[in-house]
Amino acid sequence: MDFNKQQIKSSLFIGLIALASILTMCKTEKKEAEAALVSANQYCYVPSDSLIGKQFLDVSALAGIGSITTDENKMNDTSGMVLIKGGTFDMGGDVPMNSEGMPSTALPQPDEFPKHSVQVSDFYMDEHEVTVRQFLEFVEATGYKTIAEYDVDWEELKKQVPPGTPKPDEEMLKAGALVFHYVPKGTPKDNLANWWSFETGVNWKNPDGSNPDLDAILDLPVTQVSWYDAMAYAKWANKRLPTEAEYEYAMRAGSNNTMYPWGNEMVNNTDERGNFLQGDFPYENTVEDGFESVAPVKSFPPNAYGLYDISGNVWEWTLDWYGADYYDVLKSQGGTAINPQGPDETREVYNQQATNKVVRGGSFLCNDDWCSGFRNSRRMRLSPDSGMQHVGFRLVREVL
């Protein structure tokens, strides 16, 4: 399916070269058009007209998602999914009584507060992240191309960068994505571009730039996929992305008021809880868990709900826009929030121009001394047009 993604790819490219300190992130200009995300099964999709924050989304990408046909064989298929009974829980950051001496990076961050009461309904959730094998089936059935597989159109890009910006090298305009590289000790940690580099030819089939044999990575979580790419797959599979509340509820698996799915013991002191970083980020991975990078799904024990890699391995897209103050809003409304779906617009503290979706769960690059993304309440965010080497997704389906 070769619909026009030049505008959104250009927007993504701006972000990539901004990360490399070449340009400044610019906001994608939106076109006026209508795009349908409505499925025949209204219970499994957010209808287009009520899609929260739709005005911040790229129209051409939404149109592409709308053009995907749901696989009839997957209409009611819940194989490989876990039924999660709904309930009420306290959403947000938890600080254990023995937190003295813990690094600040291991503790909840300001956007994880205040804790607030949330109720979610029953839902099915994929027992593991969507794999390369599953995504390949989708691509072969639909002909879909991910955002990372499109070259950047310089004429379109010129409209979005400061006047007089020189044209980048042709190699930098080719299709590609960001790849992580460990760096020598002493390299400053204040610049992400020190360990993330844009490389051409990187996409979901070549997620780390090593050009692996596809058969060798079929059981890995699919990565280098954007939020739009995940939504397209969801349309085909007759599912949807989980809300941030559903994800935290599933991750906690009944363990209310704890930092991690397994309790309050720091991950550096646990054995094989998941695929996390052992060593010193971004300098060294001692690979004590056997995996230097992404691990095949089901390589580690599931949580109490039977979900594999819900904590660690790769970050996972959610449906929600990121709002730094969203928990304050919910708390101020009083009572219990019922099936919250995030703010109606994306709100950033440090960059008012950013439009970000929430990602959850942490990755193979997280440990207590860096991002601690494997905590139950840890929130991170990413532009919906960006794919990353450590970001994937899993899907949910509502119980009818």
More confident residue, 107 or 133: 133
pLDDT band at 300; cut points 50, 70, 90: very high
Query: For position 268, what pLDDT does the model report?
Result: 65
User: pLDDT (tens digit, 9 = 90+) per residue, 170-205?
Assistant: 888 899 999 999 999 999 988 888 999 999 999 999
pLDDT of 90 above 90: yes
More confident residue, 87 or 27: 87
pLDDT of 334 above 60: yes
pLDDT band at 50; cut points 50, 70, 90: low
**Check whether domain 6-76+85-398 has CATH 3.40.50.1360, yes or no:** no
For the ranges 1-10, 66-75, 355-364, the lowest mean pLDDT is seen at 1-10
Whether 114 and 95 have beta carbons less than 8 Å apart is answered as no
Mean pLDDT of 353-380: 92
pLDDT of 159 above 80: no
Mean pLDDT of 368-373: 88
Query: For position 264, what pLDDT does the model report?
Result: 86
More confident residue, 59 or 276: 276
pLDDT of 13 above 50: no
Query: For position 369, what pLDDT does the model report?
Result: 84
pLDDT mean across residues, the chain? 86
Query: For position 215, what pLDDT does the model report?
Result: 98
Using CA atoms, how far apart are residues 358 and 21, in angstroms rounded to an integer?
24
SS (H, E, C) the chain: CCCCCHHHHHHHHHHHHHHCCCCCCCCCCCCCCCCCCCCCCCCCCCCHHHCCCHHHCCHHHHHHHHCCCCCHHHCCCCCCEEEECCEEEEECCCCCCCCCCCCHHHCCCHHHCCCEEEEECCEEEECCCCEHHHHHHHHHHHCCCCHHHCCCCHHHHHCCCCCCCCCCCHHHHCCEEEEECCCCCCCCCCCHHHCEEEEECCECCECCCCCCCHHHHCCCECCCCCHHHHHHHHHHHCCECCCHHHHHHHHHCCCCCCCECCECCCHHHCCCCCCCCCEECCCEECCCCCCCCCCCCCCCCCCCCCCCCCCCCCEEEEEEECECCHHHHHHHCCCCEECCCCCCCCECCCCCCCCCEEEECCCCCCCCCCCCCCCCCCCEEECCCCCCCCEECCCEEECC
pTM as predicted? 0.87
Query: For position 16, what pLDDT does the model report?
Result: 47
Q: Which residues contact 365 (CB under 8 A, 6 or more apart)?
A: 180, 277, 281, 282, 371, 390
User: pLDDT (tens digit, 9 = 90+) per residue, 335-350?
Assistant: 999 999 999 988 777 7
pLDDT of 166 above 60: yes
User: pLDDT (tens digit, 9 = 90+) per residue, 246-263?
Assistant: 999 999 999 888 999 998
Structure token pair of residue 152: 């950047």
User: What are the b/e assignments for 309-329, b being 16+ CB within 10 Å?
Assistant: bbbbbbbbbbbbbbbbebbee
pLDDT of 80 above 50: yes
User: pLDDT (tens digit, 9 = 90+) per residue, 223-245?
Assistant: 999 999 999 999 999 999 999 99
Q: In this structure, what is the dihedral angle of CA atoms 190, 195, 198, 199, given to the nearest 10 degrees?
A: 170
pLDDT of 2 above 80: no
